[in-house]
Structure 1
Amino acid sequence: MDEFKLDKSISKAIVDGTLKGYLQYLEERKSKKDSMNVSGAYAWTKGNHIDDQVSKIGQSHNVQFKIEKAGYTWEYLQFTVSENTEDYMVIVKNSRRVQKSFDDQKKKAKEDNYLVNLADINTDILKNSTQNFLVQPEQIQLELNDPEEVRAVLDGTPLNVTQKYSRFYIVTYEIDDETKFVESIKLTMPNRQTMNLELVKDLSYLIQDSEYEITSEDVEPIMNEKVSDQTIFSGDSNAFGYSIPEEEKEESGN
């Protein structure tokens, strides 16, 4: 997937922004837990903290952003990366991998949501790619960061994308259920034809290189929370499958 990779400095800015934003979110959870008798609703703010820091760190690395609106009140950031005279759209999403529990026909009947619609941007470029992908026995559910985003997914609300993009990327980050640490960050491209997230580059190695280190003390405020307490993920009918480049499978020895 070398042809679709982003510059390393841009990837590092996205990883650093994700980690710094998560740290700020944890600090806010601690502050509200100490000052309020009930503060669970602040779990919804994680995506805002991460998008905010990706936008701030990314600005010095050719990552631009703009605030758009969908539904009644849901505001989200569209990140734009400009390379080789082309513009690419990037969004950052918390994700979790679960075993597939649906058949393809059932999924196709309910696939009309904003993420799938945005995946149309990649149709031609992925169709013409010579890269072979291996489908994995799991699906990727993406976090919904706002009650209005939940409604947008359920209602099939389209997003307002006024700019012409050549590619659409989703950077997914996974938080370990037990440790609450960010355990992986990956650059993917959603494929409308296959309904898969195609792995472009595993950016997890940049977590260790980042100056933003998450400690056990940082995650203490949410250690006793279950995943279902912290967030809402898209269900089976609004999730993507997962594919990896064939050579990565071969390199792993599997």
Structure 2
Amino acid sequence: MTDEAKSHGHRAASFLAPGSVDGASFEYRLQRTPVGVVILDAARKIRAANPLARQLLGRDSATPLFGVDILSLHPEGARAKVGWLIDCARDSADGTASLLVSTPMGSLVAKVTRLQTGPAPANLGYCMMFHAQGELQMGESREDGLGPLVKLPLMRGKGGVTTLIDVDQVACLTAQGHYAEAKTLAFSAFCPRSLADLERRLDPAIFVRVHRRHLVNIRHVLAAERDHGRLHLRLADPDSTLIPVSRDKIDLVRRLLAV
């Protein structure tokens, strides 16, 4: 995807072009694609955001987000592009624009739509929506018959580069709609594969589904803790992530960790 703003028709064509995805499959994937949503005021400051937007922008629930200039959350080299994108939505006839931008969690396809709550220009605002690059093309697919994964594909940094990391460096994988978030021993990033596909190709003796949303590398569990009566696993990633254990997985975890 280029830096040029696309019309609505061109955007639809760019998603449908790759491969031979039929209409029903495309519609299914489109409905399941997780989308981050941010509402901006006329000064480009964030007024509302959904939980996925926080993750994609690298802001946890404890970090201030509302009232923050959206440009300040992007790498310095990407700020001009994001500002240009918003300007295009402000000035275009249909009030929309889209391009590829970089965030702390990797490359994202962003679309901005102009909003009005009254007479312009004082009452202008924007709705920014974004999803992981390649998600519609690299969504869930069955990996039956393929060998075990040696490297895990992750999307992080600028551009369309896919980072490959040894699977033994992954502390856990968490389902995020149609793909997974990987927490490694050094960073967090998005993996354009579903948790179910990853589980089929990772060693079940090491990567254990301890919860319907979490696949944990048992070798990187630092501690087993109880929080509000529930068992959790403390991981060795930089955030010391705490992962809940489902009740039906407690016996399995206790056997594996001798706790």
Instruction: Give the strand-richer structure, 1 or 2.
Output: 2
Structure of higher RCO (CA pairs closer than 8 Å, 6+ residues apart): 1
TM-score, L = length of structure 1: 0.22
TM-score, L = length of structure 2: 0.22
